[in-house]
Amino acid sequence: MKFLIPYSRILILLALCALISFFSPHFLQTSNIINILRQAAILNILGVGMTIVIITGGIDLSNGAVLALSSCIAAILLKDAGLPMPIGIIAALIIGCCCGLINGAMVAKVAIPPFVITYAMMFFTRGLAFLFLQGKIIYGFTPEFRFIGTGYLFGVPMPIIISAMVTIIFIFIQKYTPFGSEIYAVGADEEASMLSGIRTKSVVIRVYILSGILSALAGIVYMSRLNASEPVIGEAFPLDAIAAVLIGGTPLSGGEGGVGGTVIGALVITIIINAMNLLGISSLLQTFVLGALIIIMISVQSHSRRLFSLPSIFSANRNGAGS
Amino acid sequence: MEFKESFWAKTRFVPNAAYMFLMTLMIFAIFSPSFLSLMNLSNIMLQSSMITIVALGMTIVMLSNGIDLSIGSVMSLTGVVTGLLLASGSGFVLSILGGIGVGVFCGAFNGIMIAKVGLAPFIATFGMMGIADGVSLFAAGGETLYWEETKFHVIANGHFLAVPMPVWIIIGIFSIMYFILYKTPFGINIFALGGNEEGLRLSGVRIVRNKIGIYILSGIIASFAGIMLASRIASAHPTGGFGYEFEAIAAAVIGGTTFFGGRGGLVGSVFGALIITLIRNGLSLLGYTTPWQYCLIGIILTVCVTINTFYTK
């Protein structure tokens, strides 16, 4: 069975699809599959950011709130101020960048546990989003802006193209650039990588900045798809993204895993939620399923290493309270 | 300890949060004339009751180098379960026991996942947060629950000897927690777990059992707070406890408890909880709504963590 382990996630995905299509005939219809891919696209963008943060041994609980804040600010600039589209998008990305910078600086320079500072950042940014929007909803954007979330390029929906591009770029970064290997090195052993000349603090800060920018990008796609922006969007996204990363095979201890697995993780989660809708299971149970999935996945991961005796040279656990 | 100590020498036992509390009190008293009215002060006491209770639980978890992010969701779930039991006419005692059972169950689950399976506390309790949120939303059908039972409302709205019940409850819980933390072997183990887990294990203490105990304690305390919340607003909302874990962490951190375990204490957390309530109440009086309050608490939390971290180094 050992030769199957590298493909286990794809097998799980296929088995899941087969199981659900057995119960619901609508599952394998083209429109439903495109719908799943479109929903998974946004989760995948967030998941990619979460993956690189988790590979360095950190976590980013603020991504849903950063998504909300950046999309709210973009909405204000585009709709209320009437500025052209690029300015709104760039402003959103800058907001994401700033939030990520604060997270990263606090984690790297002050040595605050990542989950604490990103949790505080979550409340801070969501509070700001409420303040900027004053409780109202901004809706009705220009067709050019809506193209990002709802348009088609060569017959493929735009969110899927954007998500695929992000994934390819980050797979390239993690495989073929020095920064990519530095991320793994920092996650595996921060002390050793610092001694071997890697500027570990800078790596950590850059990782959180990238996660912030990706959250903002996901916010733009999400807002364009919804055609509306309000401060409460994306409350469950940290939970979804962490679940996607864990199912994708990146352990919380850092130093292992990768962006490629997260794509499958995002698909699995979207399919599960889609199947719950198709089978008429109450949507109120979604957070229950996600929470349970997270706990099951980590338990399995921490035990499968013993079961299959996979290489476990990376045992550094620097998640603050987790050590 | 010296036999004759001057008054000023004794002040070193007063947590820094106490001075911060007085400072916050003065600042708001200057800016808002209605702040120091008797009505508002007793209101602050009542508002702070839930935060104080959950902050005490969070302090114990944080002292053991853990964290419990599921507190708010356990509060919601407790409220919903108690509400369902009350609405079905199970009576006062059984409903409260059912609510506390929720806390015990969630806490035991957290503890087993952390101590036996070896998950990082924040991720195990984060998963629990999702689970408890989902169950309470589903059990309540996404709606607010009401009930006929009126005896239940005494818990948070009644008076005993002219003092509001929540104050008595806080005094009771604080005394019990103080006794557990400072006078029992279990309490010493909590500090030791945060200080040096490996050393504690080598000296023959059953780590697993102690850790599970800590999270069960935290769950029970969260369910107390959930029952009080439900009793205070005479209804149970499936997301009613949202944000309490954040305020509890902030209260503990303002009170001087670090994220690295072993340092801090209960008295500081009480003042931390009072400071947070003061800030929220004062800002409300000045016309700043919840978003402003969350922004400010987020900033204060970050600043206090930074100070604590540098102080620990």
CA dihedral A153, A156, A157, A159 (to 10 degrees): -90
Over 70: is that where the pLDDT of A311 sits? Answer: no
Question: CA–CA separation, A27 vs B179, rounded Å?
Answer: 58
pLDDT, mean of residues A4-12: 71
The pTM for the full model equals: 0.81
pLDDT of residue A110: 83
Q: Phi/psi class of residue B257: alpha, beta or left (left: φ > 0; alpha: ψ in -120 to 50)?
A: beta
- Asked if B134 lies within 8 A of A287 by C-beta distance, the reply is yes
> Which pLDDT band, with edges at 50, 70 and 90, does A312 fall under?
very low
Could you give the C-alpha distances from B83 to A125, A263, B74, B222, in angstroms and in order? 33, 41, 14, 16
Identify the sign of the CA torsion B122, B126, B131, B133: positive
- Nearest alpha carbon to residue B251 among B300, B213, B179, B189: B300
**Alpha helices for B32-120 (secondary structure H):** 38-63, 71-87, 92-115
Beta bridge partners of B160: B163
- Asked if A288 lies within 8 A of B142 by C-beta distance, the reply is no
Over 80: is that where the pLDDT of A59 sits? Answer: yes
Question: CA–CA separation, A16 vs B265, rounded Å?
Answer: 49
Give residue for tokens 């036992």: B13
- In order of their start, the domains of chain A are 29-307 (1.10.3470)
- B123 chain-A contacts, CB cut-off 8 A: 59, 242, 252, 294, 298, 319, 322
Q: What are the backbone angles phi and psi of residue A156, rounded to the nearest 5°?
A: -110, 135
- Widest CA span of chain A, in angstroms? 60
Cβ neighbours of residue B64 under 8 Å, at least 6 residues apart?
B190, B191, B193, B194, B210, B211, B214, B261
Of residues A51 and B15, more confidence is placed in: A51
CB–CB of B245/B71 below 8 Å? yes
- How many C-beta atoms lie closer than 10 Å to residue B208's C-beta? 14
pLDDT of residue A54: 92
> Which pLDDT band, with edges at 50, 70 and 90, does A67 fall under?
very high
Q: Which of A119, A282, A317 sits opposite B120 (nearest CB)?
A: A317
Minimal Cα–Cα distance from B213 to chain A, Å?
17
Q: Which of A124, A252, A298 sits opposite B295 (nearest CB)?
A: A124
pLDDT, mean of residues A87-95: 91
pLDDT of residue B190: 85
The single-letter DSSP state of residue A7 is: G
Question: CA–CA separation, A277 vs B87, rounded Å?
Answer: 30
pLDDT, mean of residues A51-63: 90
pLDDT, mean of residues A151-162: 86
> Which pLDDT band, with edges at 50, 70 and 90, does A65 fall under?
very high
Specify the pairing of strand A152-153 against strand A138-139.
unpaired
CB–CB of B58/B251 below 8 Å? yes
**Alpha helices for chain A (secondary structure H):** 8-23, 30-55, 63-75, 85-105, 114-133, 143-150, 158-176, 178-188, 190-195, 200-226, 237-247, 259-278, 286-308
Of residues A62 and A13, more confidence is placed in: A62
Over 70: is that where the pLDDT of A313 sits? Answer: no
Over 60: is that where the pLDDT of A192 sits? Answer: yes
Q: Which of B126, B138, B305 sits opposite A282 (nearest CB)?
A: B138
Q: Where are the beta strands (DSSP E) in B116-215?
A: 159-160, 163-164
Q: Which of B62, B132, B302 sits opposite A117 (nearest CB)?
A: B302
Which of B74, B117, B289, B294 to mutate against chain A (most A CBs within 10 Å)?
A: B294
- Asked if B113 lies within 8 A of A292 by C-beta distance, the reply is no
- A132 chain-B contacts, CB cut-off 8 A: none
Over 90: is that where the pLDDT of A213 sits? Answer: yes
Write out the H or E segment, with its range, that includes residue B288.
none
| Secondary structure class of B142 (helix, strand, coil) | coil
pLDDT of residue B14: 66
Cβ neighbours of residue B31 under 8 Å, at least 6 residues apart?
B282, B286
A/B interface, count of CB pairs below 8 Å: 153
Rounded percentage of chain A residues whose pLDDT exceeds 70: 91
pLDDT, mean of residues A23-30: 82
pLDDT of residue A321: 36
Could you give the C-alpha distances from B103 to B98, B275, B282, in angstroms and in order? 9, 26, 32
Half-sphere exposure of A233 (CA within 13 A, CB side): 28
pLDDT of residue A1: 52
Q: What residue type is assigned to position A226 of the chain?
A: L
Over 60: is that where the pLDDT of A316 sits? Answer: no
pLDDT of residue B12: 61
Beta bridge partners of B1: none
pLDDT tens-digit profile, chain B (313 residues): 445 666 666 666 666 777 778 887 787 778 777 777 777 777 888 888 889 999 999 999 988 888 888 999 999 999 999 888 888 877 788 888 988 999 999 999 999 888 887 778 888 888 888 888 888 888 888 788 887 777 778 777 777 777 778 888 888 999 998 898 888 888 888 888 887 877 878 887 888 888 899 999 999 999 999 998 888 888 888 888 888 888 888 888 888 787 777 777 888 888 888 888 888 888 887 777 777 888 888 888 888 777 777 766 6
Q: What residue type is assigned to position A12 of the chain?
A: I
- Asked if B298 lies within 8 A of A120 by C-beta distance, the reply is yes
Could you give the C-alpha distances from A224 to A144, A162, A267, in angstroms and in order? 10, 13, 21
**Alpha helices for A259-313 (secondary structure H):** 259-278, 286-308
∠ CA A152-A154-A156, nearest 5°, is: 50
- A50 chain-B contacts, CB cut-off 8 A: none
CA dihedral A93, A96, A102, A108 (to 10 degrees): -90
- Nearest alpha carbon to residue B272 among B246, B241, B235: B246
Could you give the C-alpha distances from B212 to B93, B116, B152, B261, in angstroms and in order? 26, 9, 30, 16
Q: What are the backbone angles phi and psi of residue A206, rounded to the nearest 5°?
A: -65, -35
pLDDT, mean of residues A290-309: 70
The tokens describing B87, both together, are 């609405």
pLDDT of residue A309: 43
Q: Phi/psi class of residue A254: alpha, beta or left (left: φ > 0; alpha: ψ in -120 to 50)?
A: left
- Nearest alpha carbon to residue A242 among A43, A93, A103, A98: A43
> Which pLDDT band, with edges at 50, 70 and 90, does A210 fall under?
very high
Question: CA–CA separation, B174 vs B52, rounded Å?
Answer: 9
